[in-house]
Amino acid sequence: MAPPPPKTPPHPPMRPQRKKTRRATQRLTMTDVANAAGVSPSTVSLYLRKPEAVSEELATRVRAVIDELGYVPNLVAGSLAAAKSRTVGVILPSITNSFFAETYNTLQSALQTAHYQTLLGVSEFDPEREEELIRAFLAWSPAAVVATGLHHTDRTRAMLRSSGIPVVEMWDIPSAQFPAVDMTVGFSHFEVGRRQAGHLYDQGSRKVAYIGAAVHQDMRVRSRTDGYEDEVRRRGLHEPISFTAPDTASTPVGIWLIDEVFALHPDIDGVVCSNDAMALGVLFEANRRGLSVPDDLAVIGFGDLTFSAACIPPLSTVRPPQREIGQLAAAQILRRLDGGEPAQPHHRLDCELVVRDSTRPADAPVQTSP
């Protein structure tokens, strides 16, 4: 008799699956936070938008729950009803230029304190590229836009004007040729160029040249060149000597341009530079030629960069109000977003002449141009 077939082992009993919780499968909502904190969703919403408007006791409770649950507010979804996000688009010409970096850091900090985030774009001094960035930013319904300068394409200007949101143009002042779209915070680059040249003349220079880079891309550099030329003609000692290059401003470009100047004007005794990086190149070339700065050649820059006080000799320069620009731009935006109007929609600021050893003889009194 054949043995009975082996018994098939029974299948293990299926474990009942636990019902997945909402938290495991779905994004936490404001209602989840409100329930955990024992407050209404409107209180959580108010805390996220304006924490100062919520009592300290409720704010502490909501903040503790947010931290415990790891809740991240969906700012895009929360902004649909208002048709705008809590982001501010900021366009800089360059992120390698520390002039703009200081302004951006200040602007970002002030906006972040008010619970707005910045969206940064870099135009590389190209108006067409700026236009593309503006179009992309506006598609995300930002709360506001900050642009650098007033030189835009006609399409960019039209988009900004029709956007219905606060717009701040910074680092320049409006003119008949380049009017403001909305609000502005800046200074006169023309006056900077005049002041640079005037300082060298006041300190004893009699033949002053100018070197600049990216003049055809950066209209602010062009304005400083124009200011230099205006001051030269006003003094009447010689014709303007302007040497410029399309390259990005840098120390090697400064060396190259001052070498070109010396080839045609070996008797110059002063140099105005479009920024401090260019001026550093002039100091290097002067040292290589055995020229004493400032006795043989006075040098002045623009920007007061981090190395300017430490180079040999320390560099005289014009210091722009980088932080103040960022602070005022943020204040204008926040005032408008709060439903008010800034008391002063257009701020024209002053720059500071910083006199160091590259323009001041050791035994000469310090004077500044009027």
How far apart CA 188 and CA 139 sit, in angstroms, is 33
Q: Evaluate whether 300 touches 273 at the Cβ level (below 8 Å).
A: yes
Query: How does DSSP classify residue 337?
Result: H
- At 335 the pLDDT is 96
Q: What is the per-residue burial (b if ≥16 Cβ within 10 Å, else e) of 51-63?
A: eeebeeebbebbe
Query: How does DSSP classify residue 53?
Result: G
Phi then psi for residue 325, to 5 deg, are -60, -45
Q: Read off the tokens for 204.
A: 């004893």
Indicate the pairing of strand 208-213 with strand 270-273. Answer: parallel
CB-count burial class (<10 Å; 0-12, 13-18, 19+) for 313: middle
β-partners of residue 318 are 302, 353
- At 96 the pLDDT is 77
In three-state secondary structure terms, 34 is: helix
**Helix (H) or strand (E) segment spanning residue 262:** helix 251-264
Tokens 């606060």 — which residue? Answer: 166
CB-count burial class (<10 Å; 0-12, 13-18, 19+) for 47: buried
In three-state secondary structure terms, 84 is: coil
Closest CA to 103 of 91, 116, 115: 91
Q: Evaluate whether 326 touches 105 at the Cβ level (below 8 Å).
A: yes
Angle at 338 between CA 135 and CA 111, to 5 degrees: 60
Q: Evaluate whether 226 touches 195 at the Cβ level (below 8 Å).
A: no
Q: What is the per-residue burial (b if ≥16 Cβ within 10 Å, else e) of 327-360?
A: bbbbbbbbbbbeeeebeeeebeeebebbbbbbbb
**All domains of the chain, ordered by start, with CATH?**
23-73 (1.10.260.40), 87-187+322-339 (3.40.50.2300), 189-319 (3.40.50.2300)
**Helix (H) or strand (E) segment spanning residue 211:** strand 208-213
Q: Evaluate whether 171 touches 220 at the Cβ level (below 8 Å).
A: yes
Q: How distant, in Å, are the alpha carbons of 35, 46, 72, 91, 232 from that of 69? A: 12, 18, 9, 35, 66
How far apart CA 190 and CA 195 sit, in angstroms, is 9
In three-state secondary structure terms, 271 is: strand
Q: Read off the tokens for 4.
A: 């009975």
pLDDT in tens, the chain (370 residues): 555 555 544 444 444 444 443 433 356 788 888 999 999 988 988 888 778 888 999 889 988 988 787 777 665 555 544 556 899 999 999 887 777 999 999 999 999 999 999 999 999 989 999 999 999 999 888 999 999 999 999 999 999 999 999 999 999 999 999 999 999 999 999 999 999 999 999 999 999 999 999 877 788 999 999 999 999 999 999 999 999 998 888 999 999 999 999 999 999 999 999 999 999 999 999 999 999 999 999 999 999 999 999 999 999 999 999 999 999 999 999 999 999 999 899 999 999 999 999 997 644 444 333 3
Q: Read off the tokens for 67.
A: 């931290």
- At 67 the pLDDT is 78
